[in-house]
Chains A and B, each alone.
Chain A
Amino acid sequence: DTGVSQNPRHKITKRGQNVTFRCDPISEHNRLYWYRQTLGQGPEFLTYFQNEAQLEKSRLLSDRFSAERPKGSFSTLEIQRTEQGDSAMYLCASSLAFGNRVADTQYFGPGTRLTVL
Chain B
Amino acid sequence: AQTVTQSQPEMSVQEAETVTLSCTYDTSESDYYLFWYKQPPSRQMILVIRQEAYKQQNATENRFSVNFQKAAKSFSLKISDSQLGDAAMYFCAYRPRALNTDKLIFGTGTRLQVFP
Point out residues on A near B: beta carbons under 8 Å: 3-4, 31, 33, 35, 40-45, 48, 55-56, 58, 91, 95, 97, 100, 102-103, 105-111
Contact = CB atoms under 8 A, between A and B. Distances in A.
Contacts, number: 56
Contact of B104 (A40, A55, A106): A106
B73 to A, nearest CB: 17
B108 interface: yes
A110 B44 contact: yes
A95 B102 CA distance: 10
Contacts of A58: 103
Contact of B47 (A100, A105, A110): A105
B91 interface: yes
A105 B48 CA distance: 11
Contact of B108 (A40, A45, A109): A40
A44 B108 CA distance: 10
Among B45, B91, B97, B106, the one with the most A-chain Cβ atoms within 10 Å of its Cβ is: B45
B99 A111 contact: no
Contacts of A45: 103-105
A42 B50 contact: no
Interface in B22-43: 33, 35, 37, 43
A107 B47 CA distance: 8
Contacts of B102: 31, 33, 48, 55-56, 95, 97, 102-103
- 10 interchain residue pairs of minimum CB distance: A42-B106, A45-B103, A108-B45, A110-B44, A42-B91, A43-B106, A108-B44, A42-B108, A42-B107, A105-B47
A110 B104 contact: no
A56 B101 contact: yes
A73 B91 CA distance: 28
B92 to A, nearest CB: 8
Interface string B85-104: 00000010100010101111
